[in-house]
Each structure stands twice: as structure tokens, then as C-alpha cells.
Structure 1
Amino acid sequence: MKSSKPNFYFLFIVCFCLTNFSYAQNNNSCGAIINEASNDIYSNPDKVIKIGFSIVKESANNIDCKIKGYKLICDAYTSKRNYVKALEYLNKANSMLPQTNNAMLKIIILNKAGIIYHQLKIYDKAIQYLDQAEQAIMEYPVKDSIHTDLGKNYIVRGFIYKEEFNCDIAINFFNRGITELLKIKSKPAYSIISIAKYNKGNCYILMSKNALAIQNFKESFIAAKTINAKSLQAFANKGLAQVYTLEGNYTDAIAKLNEALVLSDEVEDLVLNQEIYKGLSENYLATSEWEKFKVYHSKYLNVQKLVKKSERESVSESLDLKMTESNNKLKDEKSKFYYFLILSFFILLLIIFLFTVLIKKENKEIALLKKQINDLQLEKRK
């Protein structure tokens, strides 16, 4: 059974959006409108996008509100899993950051950029923005206000290092993120803690440390249950089932997967259902329950087709974005080259001009010197 990375990254972004709307609510400028719109961010994102454009249009003289309007549009596209569009409007917000003195808003936008680039698997850009966000966080004067953002920053790094390097480094960052989030103990914080614990569990499976994997999946379930997050509880149970399957404890694995299936009925998550159906089919095959194996294997194959279609669309969008970035870099390099060429041409002209002037001056001095010599020779002859 594979870990459900795309879905958990999406859940992380959902939690990120929710925590940032609490910030918007406390801002008197346009927070009330944004907070109200946030209630529809996942149920009616198209409506939220329109509200975001309205905020941008009406906030021509209010940079902070305009930035938050673009971020609202970004969050709505995120809820639709259209990360390329989300990034387009986040970049508009990011380009305006030099015009604001709102340090917390800068942190939020930079962190969000890191998360979206990570979702698109453009890891170098993700790290670049996470580094900028971390620096802004460390410079923020009110230290009690930065635990959430710092915690999320560390956990996103954990996701990236898990993919790019190894689980030892990832676990270190997951732990650092969890430590920061436990200092606030808010509802969104418990969601992110559950996700981090789940990913730690997956790391421990890869490291063949089953006892630690079970411990973290159980802790992930407890954190999710604290806030009644059904999807997170289902994933935690799925993780436990994965360990039980590896240990040959098929009965307990099936029980946990059935618990996860009941929880997933309220979630309608394709990736989650795919993993549950796959797990049930594997365990029923192991226990020679052929009819149940056929039922869940068929369900797994049907959902797998839908998930692969969604993943192909996401990969296509990511490739398009990378191609666009490459083209933009190429244009920048061409512009720099042409600028250098033109500058070099003018410098060469200047050198030639100065050299010509210098030669003329030297020729004049030589001619004058010859004339003086000739004059002296004529005087001597006289």
C-alpha cells in the first residue's frame, strides 16, 4: 500500500488556507468580507473568485486589501486543485509585497508560495520561498504570533526532504513543525499535526520501524479525532492497516480499513478510497476471501482510473508551468545578452573614438615637434 501523498498535500493546503483566514478576520480593512467568503471557499469556489476580483478592483488605494484579494482568488483556485491558476494570482500578490509594511501578510504569502510550488513538485522554487518566509518569520517582533507559520514552514520542508533526500531529515523537520504547532493548540493546528504524524508514520514504515509507525498513526488519529476530522482519521486508520498487513496481521488490518471506509463515506476523496479499496483487496486475497477480494479489487481499479486521470491533468499543468518558467528564463537571458551586446558595442565605439582622438593628438604633437625641429635647423643654417 502506497502513501497518499497528493491528497495529504492538498489537505495541508486546505488547513493552511483555514489558518490564514483567521488572520484575515482580525484585519479591519477588508477582513469581514474575506472571512465571510472563506465559508464558501470549498463549497462554492467560483463565487469566492468573483468576490476576490471585486476586492481587488475596489482596493486600488489599499495595497494590503488588494494583496489579500489576490490571495483569496488563489485559495479558491487551490480548492479546485487548479494550482497553476492559484500560482498566477499568488504571484500577483507576491509582486505587491514590496509596497506593504504588513510583515505578517508577507509571511503568509511567502509561505503559501512555497506550499504551491511544492504541490507542483518544483522543489527548488518551493525551498526558495520557504527560506524567504522563514527569514521573515525570524525577523517578526511578536514571537507568540509566528508559531503557526513557522510550524507549517517546517512541515512543508519535511514533505520536500522526504521526497528529495531521506526520511531522517524529513522526520526532524516534521518534529520541529509539530513542536511549534503544539504551542498554539488551535483547531487548524491539530489538522496539520495529524498530517505530520501520518507522514512520520509512513517514514517509519520505509525505515522498517513498525512500532514507531504504529505509534505515529495512532497519534495522528487522536489529533484528527480531537477536531472531528473524518478524512484525517480515515488516513490514520489506513496507515495502521498498512503496518498490520506488513506484519501478517490481516484481521486487524481489515478491521482498520473497514473503519476507514465508514469514515471516508462522508469525505468523498478519490485518493483515500483508492487506498482503502486496494488495502481491502490485498488483505482479502491474503485471507483467501475471494468474493470480497473481487468486489474491492474492482472498486479499486475503477477509482484508480479516475485518480490517474486527475494526476495526468495535474502533471500536464505542472509541465506547462515549468515550460513557461523556462521560456521566461530564456527570455531574461536573451535580454541580458542583448543588453550586454549593445553595451559592449557602445563601449567599443567609445574606445575607438578615444583611440582615434588620442592618435590625432599624438599626430598633431609629432607634426608640431617636426615643425619645431625644422625651424631650428633653418635657424642654424642661417
Structure 2
Amino acid sequence: MHNRYSFFTFLVSMVTLCCTTVVAQTKNIDSIVKASTLEIYENPDKALLVGKSIIANSKDDVKTKIKGLMLVADAYSSKRDYQKSLEYVIQANHLSGQIDDPILKIKIVNKMAIQYQQLMIYDEAIQYLNEAEKLCLAYPVKDSVRLHLGRNYIVRGFIYKEKLNCDIAINFFNKGIAELANVKNSIVNANLSIANYNKGNCYILLSDNEAAKKSFLEAIVIAKGIKAKSLQAFAQKGLAEVYTLEGRYRDAIKELEEAHKISHDVGDLVLNRGIYNGLVENYLAVNDWENYKIFHARYLETQLKVKESERKSINNLITEGYKTQNKNLKTEIYKYNYYILTTLIVIILVVIFFIILLRKNKKNILKLNKTIENLQNSRVKSV
């Protein structure tokens, strides 16, 4: 009895230890991912290494692998390497069917929407945003999805800025900011900086320079607070654009040079293109031809890289689309073949049933005829 009790106690202890270890590992991975996510806007290459290490060590843990894939995808997005980013998002999306984690699924769908938005394929982006929003609104604990819902609204703001008008876009930026304001998470600050920067761009288009400056300055303060160099540089680029519109060319150059300095190692092609273009315009305005030629050459070189990256990403999307269509076609063919086979089996069974029934009826008729014949013979004999 004592031995059985000792064995039971040992077994329970081992199970508890294993469960504690798994929980600890999960929390450790989540902490690593969270810390690396904050690195995305300052040191995306570091985030890449961490994400790839998580993927390599995930083994059969699908959820951990997805977290690593998403981290790598975000890091490549920060570097504007859309082709690589898309590859990892697609892998995560394919694996999402193997997990039972609604929050992680929402994150994946949102990321798919962001990917399409970055490639300016807005109809597809809206479809994924609608799907992610539906999942968010259906989730029972609202506070758990505010971060993802806030991001969803901000991405909608990007799209509506391009497709509709800035008034609608600002409304969605504000909705996103309102959701994120209720999230106690340092990661939201990056999104808040992005939202304010894009609000500033909208105000420029609406010719409201003061509101634009206010938004850009707020974005700069938030970005500095989390040491997000690329986000700070984006906001400074936006502020420089306002200065250019106001004829303050030297102030614009100062902002752009600082933005170029702090973001030099980030490797964001779109950011660099914007900074170079701003410097070209402002150096031209102050007749600084030497710097004009230097940054004009850099602008053209970067523009070519951006277009090449976008082209490769679109080709990747088309290939993925063909794969999906192929898969759907195979599924439909399988369904059609299954339907035909089932129908044939039913027909064969019905035919067999009728044959058996006919044979049985024929036997019954023969038996009945025999009985009648016997009765008639009996009558004849009795007469």
C-alpha cells in the first residue's frame, strides 16, 4: 500500500513538474517575442535572429513556431523586404488551422491584411480586416482583443486614406488610438506613433499644417519614449514636409538629416526613399546643387530597390493565389468524384434491391400458381 502511494505521489509530482516546465517555457517564449517586437523598429536584424532561432527550436510546438514566424515577418516588414515577410506570414497562416488559439489567429489574419495593404492590394486587405474584426468582436473578453482591434482600425485608416478621403481615414485612426489607449502594453506605443504619423500626413493633404505638426510632434515623442528609431525618423520626415510647405527649408533639412542619421542602420527602404526625396526638394530650394545631386542619386537607387521588392512580393502573392486555387479545385474535384461515386453506389444498390425483389416476387407468383394448380387438381379428383 505504501509503495503504491509513493508511486502515485511520484507520478503526480512528475506531471506537475512537466506542466510547470511547459508553462514556464511558454511564458519565456512570450517574453522573448515581446522584447524582440520592441526591437523591430530599432534593430530589425536582431529581431530576425531571435525569430529564426525560435522557429529552429520550436520542434513540434506549432504555436511557438507560429510566434517565431510572425516575429520574423514583422522584422522583414520593418526592413520593407515584403517578399521575405510574405513568405513567413503565409507559413504562419497555413499552420493556423492546427492551433486552438483565437488571439493568435486574429494576429495572423490582421498581419495578412497588413501585407496586402503594404502591397496596395486593398480589396484583399479589406477582406482580411473584416475577418479579423469579426473574430475580435466575437471574442468574449474584449480587453484581450483591443490591441488587435486598434491595429485593425489603423490599417483601415491607411487604406481609406488612399481609396476614399482623409476625413474618413482620420476617423479610423482616432478609433484605433481610442482602442489602444485602453491597452496596458508597451507594444501599443509603436502603433500609437504610427497612427499619429499617418494622421499628420492626412492633415497635410487637408492643408491643416498646425494639426499636422501637432500629430507629428506627438508621434516623435512617443517614438523617442520607446527608442523606435525608424518611427521617430518617419515622424521627423513628416514634420520636415510641413516645414517645406511653409518655406522653412533649412528647418526641413535639419529634421531630415537627423532622421537619416538615426535610421541609417534600420534599413527601411521606404523611409530612406522618403528622406532622400525630402532632402532633394529642400537642397534644390536652397540651391545646394552638390547635396542635391548626391541625394537625387540615392533616391533613384532606393526607388529601384523598393519597386523590385514590391514586384517580387506581388509575384509571390500570385503564386500563392494559384496554389490556393489549385487546392480549391482539387477539393471540388474530390467532392464531385465523391458525389458521383456515392450516386453510382446508391443506384447499384437500388438496382440490386429491385432485382432481389423481382426474383422474390417471381418465386411467390410461381408458388401461388402451384398452390392454385394443386387446388384445381384436388377439385377435379373429388368430382
TM-score over 0.5 for the pair: yes
Paired position in structure 2 for 1:85? 87
Question: How does 1:357-372 map onto structure 2 within 5 Å?
Answer: none
Q: Deviations over 1:160-179 (max 9, x none)?
A: 44455554443333212101
Query: Is the contact made by 2:51 and 2:72 (CA closer than 8 Å) also made in structure 1?
Result: yes
Query: Is the contact made by 1:115 and 1:156 (CA closer than 8 Å) also made in structure 2?
Result: no
Query: Is the contact made by 2:170 and 2:202 (CA closer than 8 Å) also made in structure 1?
Result: yes
In the alignment, does 2:46 pair up with 1:49? no
Pair 1:279–1:113, CA change in 2 (3 A): same
Paired position in structure 1 for 2:140? 139
**Greater than 6 Å deviation, 4+ residue runs:** 361-382
Larger relative contact order (Cα-Cα within 8 Å, sequence gap ≥ 6): 2
Paired position in structure 1 for 2:27? 31
Pair 1:250–1:298, CA change in 2 (3 A): farther
Paired position in structure 2 for 1:310? 309
CA distance in 1: counterparts of 2:342 and 2:161, whole angstroms: 46
Kindly provide the amino acid, as one letter, of the partner of residue 52 in structure 1: I
| Cα RMSD, aligned residues only | 3.8
Pair 1:264–1:356, CA change in 2 (3 A): farther
Kindly provide the amino acid, as one letter, of the partner of residue 311 in structure 2: R
Offset of residue 324 of structure 1? 2.0
CA distance in 2: counterparts of 1:124 and 1:364, whole angstroms: 70
Pair 1:310–1:215, CA change in 2 (3 A): same
Question: How does 1:23-172 map onto structure 2 within 5 Å?
Answer: 28-33=24-29, 35-36=31-32, 39=36, 42-44=44-46, 45-46=48-49, 48-54=51-57, 56-57=58-59, 66-80=62-76, 81=81, 82-91=84-93, 93-98=95-100, 105-120=101-116, 121=121, 122-123=124-125, 126-127=128-129, 129-136=131-138, 138-140=139-141, 143-163=142-162, 166-172=165-171
| TM-score, structure 1 normalization | 0.72
Pair 1:164–1:329, CA change in 2 (3 A): farther
CA distance in 1: counterparts of 2:253 and 2:331, whole angstroms: 52
Query: Is the contact made by 1:111 and 1:129 (CA closer than 8 Å) also made in structure 2?
Result: no
Unmatched runs of 5 consecutive residues or more in structure 1: 1-26, 99-104
CA distance in 1: counterparts of 2:168 and 2:366, whole angstroms: 78
Query: Is the contact made by 1:202 and 1:239 (CA closer than 8 Å) also made in structure 2?
Result: yes
Q: Deviations over 1:182-230 (max 9, x none)?
A: 2246432221111012222333444555554444333323332333433
Larger Cα-atom Rg? 2
Unmatched runs of 5 consecutive residues or more in structure 2: 1-22
Query: Is the contact made by 2:173 and 2:195 (CA closer than 8 Å) also made in structure 1?
Result: yes
| TM-score, structure 2 normalization | 0.72
CA distance in 2: counterparts of 1:180 and 1:341, whole angstroms: 52
Pair 1:303–1:84, CA change in 2 (3 A): closer
In the alignment, does 2:263 pair up with 1:267? yes
Query: Is the contact made by 1:71 and 1:89 (CA closer than 8 Å) also made in structure 2?
Result: no
Kindly provide the amino acid, as one letter, of the partner of residue 195 in structure 2: A
Paired position in structure 2 for 1:345? 344
Paired position in structure 1 for 2:218? 219
Question: How many aligned positions are there?
Answer: 338
State the identity as a percent. Answer: 36
